[in-house]
């Protein structure tokens, strides 16, 4: 079976830089708190009414196509990962397809909902399609427009200060070179603690909210024997219950356990060790998490790429943005062993090993 390789890569972040200082004007937070707990100094926010998750994805995709030496028309299949879609439905895959002008060709577009691990899931799926010979140019995108769906009051500060907007994309193609390409991908999930990091409302679950500790709060509305209004109730609007909630410390503790575990799992399968990694691209969840993972695996500073300081946590976009930045900086060269890893809401976690 042929392997698949990353033939082109691109990323896009909006122009507007939002420094921690700017957030202190709308909520009770400080630059010191944000930097100390997360490492974040600034993030980007997209232009309201102009930029969307799919349009940013399209910008990153165009760059990836160009670097792969193809036009968007030559894309066979699209896999789009996001937790902040333009619409509830249809998904961003078809919207980006339209934006890229791939309308005359009936390519498939698949939407992935695996949050911070979204890009690794998307890459793994694309890898299977390429390896089996089904497609030759698969466009894989991770994109997020978080800034449209965050609580900018003090109530939402534990979540809001972390997230930023942006997009990353790759083109996967088959390679005949047995020493190159995606060596393995590992995907995991466990829904036991789904509500510990979640965006619950609006939804079809019918009247629950989960507080910051992930405890269910029955909103008691609408009454069970009525129809309608199940997606967004007046109380949800009044009390601002239509924002993401996260029990930060709970998520943190699992993240620092699962990152090294899933990286080792991929390395073990290939008979490799952490010392063989040329560049680890961790999902940019929190600088403290990445530093913990680096220490656990005994990696040097040169073996890990961090950019959360400048972009915040861009969820499904964070891995391809960081991968592209590292590559553009000349830190990833042919023959290098690149490891991608992520952990996030679901919970979901995964890794990918690539011989560049
Ligand atoms: O990417 C998906 C996966 N996500 C993650 O991996 C996130 C993992 N978790 C984290 O990164 C960290 O838990 C956070 C950065 C979210 C929070 O840091 P923490 O050190 O765990 O803080 P905490 O939630 O335990 O809160 C400590 C205190 C609380 O005040 P009290 O109760 O001690 O008085 C919070 O109310 O900090 C307060 N706080 C803030 N203070 C200033 C929470 N958010 C803020 C804020 N500014 N933005």
- Backbone phi, then psi, for 40, in 5-degree steps? -80, 130
What secondary structure letter does DSSP report for 129? H
Residues in the chain where the model's pLDDT stays below 50? none
The continuous run of DSSP H or E covering 342 comes out as strand 337-344
Q: The tokens of 354 are what?
A: 């690539």
Name 192's Cβ contacts closer than 8 Å, sequence gap at least 6. none
- CATH number for domain 3-175, candidates 3.40.47.10, 3.40.50.10710, 3.40.50.970, 3.40.50.12280: 3.40.47.10
Distance from the alpha carbon of residue 81 to the mean position of ligand 1, in angstroms:
26
Buried b (16+ CB within 10 A) or exposed e, 65-102: bebbebebebbbbbbbbbbbbbeeeebbbbbbbebbeb
Q: What is the pLDDT of residue 236?
A: 74
What pLDDT score does 9 carry? 98
The answer to whether the CB of 9 falls within 8 A of the CB of 317 is no
Q: Where in the sequence of the chain do the CATH 3.40.47.10 domains occur? A: 3-175, 181-192+247-355
Measured by CA distance, the residue closest to atom 41 of ligand 1 is 29
Please give all residues whose beta carbon lies within 6 A of any atom in ligand 1, as ranges.
29, 33-34, 37-38, 116, 157-158, 161, 248-249, 251-252, 255, 285-286, 289, 313, 344
Model confidence over 219-241: pLDDT tens digits?
655 566 666 555 677 777 777 78
**Domain at 181-192+247-355: CATH architecture:** 3-Layer(aba) Sandwich (3.40)
Q: What integer pLDDT is reported at residue 226 of this predicted model?
A: 62
Cα of 252 from ligand 1 centre, angstroms? 10
* pLDDT tens by residue, 191-212: 999 999 999 887 777 666 666 5
């Amino acid at each position: 079976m042929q392997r698949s390789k990353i033939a082109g890569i691109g990323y896009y972040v909006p122009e507007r830089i939002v420094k921690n200082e700017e957030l202190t004007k709308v909520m009770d937070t400080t630059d010191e708190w944000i930097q100390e707990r997360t490492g974040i100094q600034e993030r980007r926010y997209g232009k309201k009414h102009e930029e969307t998750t799919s349009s940013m994805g399209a910008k990153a995709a165009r760059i990836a196509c160009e670097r792969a030496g193809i036009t968007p028309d030559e894309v066979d299949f699209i896999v789009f990962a996001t937790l902040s879609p333009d619409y509830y439905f249809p998904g961003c895959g078809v919207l980006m397809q339209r934006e890229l002008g791939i309308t005359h060709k009936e390519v498939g577009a698949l939407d992935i909902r695996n949050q911070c691990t979204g890009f690794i899931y998307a890459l793994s799926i694309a890898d299977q399609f390429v390896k089996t010979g089904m497609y030759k140019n698969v466009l894989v995108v991770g994109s997020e427009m978080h800034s449209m769906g965050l609580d900018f009051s003090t109530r939402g500060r534990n979540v809001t200060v972390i997230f930023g907007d942006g997009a990353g994309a790759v083109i996967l193609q088959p390679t005949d070179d047995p020493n190159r390409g995606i060596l393995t991908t590992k995907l995991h999930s466990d829904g036991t603690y789904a509500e510990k990091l979640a965006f619950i409302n609006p939804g079809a679950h019918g009247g629950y909210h989960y507080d910051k500790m992930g405890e269910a709060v029955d909103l008691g509305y609408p009454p069970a024997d009525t129809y309608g209004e199940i997606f967004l109730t007046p109380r949800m609007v009044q009390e601002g219950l239509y924002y993401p909630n996260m029990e930060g410390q709970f998520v943190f503790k699992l993240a620092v356990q699962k990152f090294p575990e899933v990286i080792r799992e991929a390395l073990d399968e290939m008979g490799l060790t952490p010392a063989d990694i040329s560049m680890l691209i961790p999902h940019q969840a929190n600088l403290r998490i990445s530093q913990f993972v680096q220490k656990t695996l005994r990696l040097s500073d040169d073996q890990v790429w961090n950019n959360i300081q400048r972009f915040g946590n861009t969820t499904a976009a964070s891995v391809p943005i960081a991968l592209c930045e590292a590559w553009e900086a000349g830190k990833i060269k042919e023959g290098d062993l690149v490891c991608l890893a992520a952990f996030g809401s679901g919970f979901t976690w995964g890794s990918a090993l690539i011989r560049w």
